[in-house]
């Protein structure tokens, strides 16, 4: 929230509602003395004055406080536990701890019960400023080696600790002012985590939980969590026979099964035609290149930890590609370019490989080999903003086609305090950031600025996509790059007859096909739009007597993806339920009445029984649905 100044006297106690009213702000509460006080409380003001905060900001404080309450409960139940760290995260919190006995999921109930007891005690939370030396002595006496390690790395001479009852923790805060405010929480799961993310260090137990201000909010979250489990793309991927991951092949490497491949092909065909219609040229590039290419591009300096190890062939070093951009640069450089050709737009569905640690791999969402819907635009500086606007139009159009209307847009720029992480001069960075923000403003799109989130070679527009459960996922990204053209000495002949350096725009609309596919599975809960569904129609003859008529129906629908169910020995109800489980959009039931009338009985997977209709009526209906790319 915007900062607000108000006259308060340190050491005096005020009703928080009065302070908020006097400041004329819409705030949930205040922070003073490193503690959160809600609007319904009274607070004694510290020397630091008061800071007004929103409900969203206060929720993060509450969740961080809940992580401390959980750690206190664990130490009470499991003496000898060593504390790691316990931050608030997007949907809750976690705490990493070294627990001598270890934990099982069954222990979460006991820990929750102890948290409830501590909450009911309404233990006051106190913030204390200490010298680093005093803090080290304190945590050494408490046998907390991880805290001592953290203190040694903190800059400055002082640190802060928070106490609640007998529990004490190293923390910057802020926290709620008493444990009684932490009421509506739920522990969710446990997992392993290496201390400081280093696989050579101690393996700790990580406990995840969530917390809200009200019971209704908690119940809604838990309902959405159950729904997310039902929609989980890994579960549905197996149920619908879409993809698999085989440990003999390697973690994070995807096998696309026939059903998944059909959906992928339809999306790819649509993607290719859309790009051709928008002036792109399709290209294909190799999966490996000599190491020298990645030295020139800067990837070896700024991206090496995410790349697979090199291969030695005929006294030459090769690397599998983590990105497609240097290849597109080389295609550009195969001949002399003129300003009359610009902008040049190369597009590729290029498979790339990035080393992700096994602990963060997650179905199709986090993999080691994936296909980017990649494109690079080479243009003059004065063309950048217009080209970015066109990319934005394509990106927003594609996501809305698939039913994603709620988008969150971020302009990712450099961290002004840590410019060494990036390549390129200040002037080109400022020009690139200005072009991106200008394009967003020209399209009247709301966006936030994310400092420090830029790629090492340039700023970016990152679009987050909200799914049916209210979760946001990384979607399209648009990056302006003045650096690769300079590194690769790219040129074009300008209208003045002189050589000029082009600007390179990196962009991906779907991001990766794997992640986009996972997003679609969970968005639709497996009920794919008819135009991409691997099986569009299933014909169900009730008995063998209707088989000949059912075959003629299948023949009449051969332009679609149709399956004839020949399992007439099983009951019709069972076969319909099987079709529902397999998420078949349309089932045509054929019995003696249908044969006699020359019609089919139509069942829609989600809408249910649509009644009888002629085959021509049915064909006309689904043709229109496919052509309009209708989604439920």
Q: How is domain 537-627 classified at the architecture level of CATH?
A: 3-Layer(aba) Sandwich (3.40)
Q: How is domain 59-231 classified at the architecture level of CATH?
A: 2-Layer Sandwich (3.30)
In contact, 290 and 312? CB cutoff 8 Å? no
Half-sphere exposure of 344 (CA within 13 A, CB side): 21
Average pLDDT, the chain: 92
Percentage of the chain modeled with pLDDT above 70: 99
- The verdict on whether residue 211 carries a ligand-binding annotation is no
Q: Which residues of 299-310 are buried (b: 16+ CB within 10 A; e: fewer)?
A: bbeebeeebeeb
Per residue in 352-395, pLDDT (tens digit) is 999 988 778 889 988 999 999 999 999 999 999 999 999 999 99
Task: For the beta carbon of residue 224, count every other beta carbon within 10 angstroms.
Answer: 15
Q: Give the C-alpha separation, 48 to 50, whole Å.
A: 7
Same fold, 59-231 and 243-524: no
Per residue in 448-493, pLDDT (tens digit) is 998 888 877 788 999 998 877 777 888 899 999 888 898 999 999 9
At 496, the pLDDT band (50, 70, 90 cuts) reads very high
What pLDDT is attached to residue 2? Answer: 53
Q: Is the pTM of this model over 0.75?
A: yes
In contact, 324 and 372? CB cutoff 8 Å? yes
Q: Give the C-alpha separation, 450 to 312, whole Å.
A: 40
- The verdict on whether residue 68 carries a ligand-binding annotation is no
What pLDDT is attached to residue 4? Answer: 67
Residues whose CB is less than 8 angstroms from the CB of residue 559 and which lie 6 or more positions away in sequence, other chains included: none
At 157, the pLDDT band (50, 70, 90 cuts) reads very high
Which residues in 344-385 belong to E strands, given as ranges?
344-353, 369-379
- The verdict on whether residue 64 carries a ligand-binding annotation is no
Q: Give the C-alpha separation, 421 to 433, whole Å.
A: 16
Span 549-558, average pLDDT: 96
What pLDDT is attached to residue 409? Answer: 93
Per residue in 512-534, pLDDT (tens digit) is 999 999 999 999 999 999 999 99
Tell me the domain boundaries of the chain: 13-53, 59-231, 243-524, 537-627
Q: Give the C-alpha separation, 58 to 52, whole Å.
A: 10
Per residue in 248-307, pLDDT (tens digit) is 999 999 999 999 999 999 999 999 999 999 999 999 999 999 999 999 988 888 788 888
Write out the DSSP string of 264-289.
HHHHHHHHHHHHHHTT-EE----SEE
Per residue in 101-113, pLDDT (tens digit) is 888 888 999 999 9
Q: How is domain 243-524 classified at the architecture level of CATH?
A: 2-Layer Sandwich (3.30)
């Amino acid at each position: 929230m915007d900062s607000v100044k108000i006259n308060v006297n340190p050491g005096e106690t005020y009703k928080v509602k009065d302070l908020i009213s006097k400041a004329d702000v819409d705030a949930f509460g205040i922070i003073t003395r490193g503690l959160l006080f809600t609007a319904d409380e009274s607070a004694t003001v510290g020397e630091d004055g008061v800071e007004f905060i929103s409900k969203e900001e206060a929720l993060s404080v509450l969740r961080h406080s809940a992580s401390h309450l959980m750690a206190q409960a664990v130490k009470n139940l499991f003496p000898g536990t060593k504390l790691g760290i316990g931050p608030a995260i997007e949907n809750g919190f976690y705490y990493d701890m070294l627990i001598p006995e270890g934990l099982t999921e069954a222990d979460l109930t006991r820990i929750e019960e102890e948290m409830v007891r501590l909450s009911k005690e309404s233990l006051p939370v106190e913030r204390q400023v200490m010298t680093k030396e005093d803090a080290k002595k304190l945590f050494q006496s408490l046998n907390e080696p991880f805290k001592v390690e953290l203190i040694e790395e903190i800059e400055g001479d002082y640190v802060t600790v928070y106490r609640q009852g007998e529990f004490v923790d190293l923390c910057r805060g802020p926290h709620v002012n008493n444990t009684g405010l932490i009421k509506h929480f739920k522990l969710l799961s446990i997992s392993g985590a290496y201390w400081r993310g280093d696989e050579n260090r101690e393996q700790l137990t990580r406990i995840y939980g969530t917390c809200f201000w009200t019971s209704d909010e908690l119940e809604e979250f838990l309902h959405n969590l159950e729904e997310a489990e039902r929609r989980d793309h890994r579960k549905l991927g197996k149920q619908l026979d879409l993809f698999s991951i085989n440990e003999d092949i390697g973690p994070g490497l995807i096998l696309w099964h026939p059903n998944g491949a059909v959906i992928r092909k339809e999306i790819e065909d649509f993607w290719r035609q859309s790009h051709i219609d928008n002036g792109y040229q399709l290209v294909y590039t190799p999966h490996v290149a000599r190491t020298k290419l990645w030295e020139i591009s800067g990837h070896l300096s700024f991206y090496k930890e995410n790349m697979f190890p090199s291969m030695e062939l005929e006294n030459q070093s090769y690397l599998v590609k983590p990105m497609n951009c240097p290849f597109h640069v080389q295609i550009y450089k195969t001949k002399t370019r003129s300003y009359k050709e610009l902008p040049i737009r190369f597009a590729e569905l290029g498979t790339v490989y990035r080393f992700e640690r096994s602990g963060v791999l997650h179905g199709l969402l986090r993999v080691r080999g994936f296909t980017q819907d990649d494109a690079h635009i080479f243009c003059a500086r004065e063309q950048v903003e217009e080209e970015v606007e066109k990319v934005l139009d394509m990106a927003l159009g594609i996501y809305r086609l698939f039913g994603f209307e709620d988008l969150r847009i971020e302009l990712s720029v450099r961290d002004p305090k840590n410019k060494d992480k990036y390549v390129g001069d200040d002037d080109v960075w400022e020009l690139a950031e200005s072009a991106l923000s200008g394009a967003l403003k020209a399209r009247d799109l709301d966006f936030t600025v994310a400092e420090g989130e830029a790629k090492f070679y340039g700023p970016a527009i990152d679009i987050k996509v909200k799914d049916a459960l209210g979760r946001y996922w990384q979607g399209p990204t648009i990056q302006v790059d003045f650096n690769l053209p300079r590194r690769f000495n790219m040129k074009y002949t300008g209208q003045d007859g002189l050589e000029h350096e082009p600007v390179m725009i990196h962009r991906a609309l779907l991001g990766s096909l794997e992640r986009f596919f996972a997003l679609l599975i969970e968005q639709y809960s497996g009920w794919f739009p008819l135009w991409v569904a691997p099986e569009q129609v299933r014909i169900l003859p009730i008995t063998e007597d209707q088989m000949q008529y059912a075959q003629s129906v299948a023949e009449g629908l051969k332009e679609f993806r149709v399956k004839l169910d020949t399992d007439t020995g099983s009951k019709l109800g069972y076969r319909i339920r099987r079709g529902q489980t397999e998420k078949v959009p349309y089932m045509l039931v054929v019995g003696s009445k249908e044969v006699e009338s020359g019609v089919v009985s139509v069942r829609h997977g989600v809408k249910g029984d649509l009644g009888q209709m002629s085959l021509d009526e049915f064909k006309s209906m689904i043709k229109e649905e496919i052509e309009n790319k209708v989604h439920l």
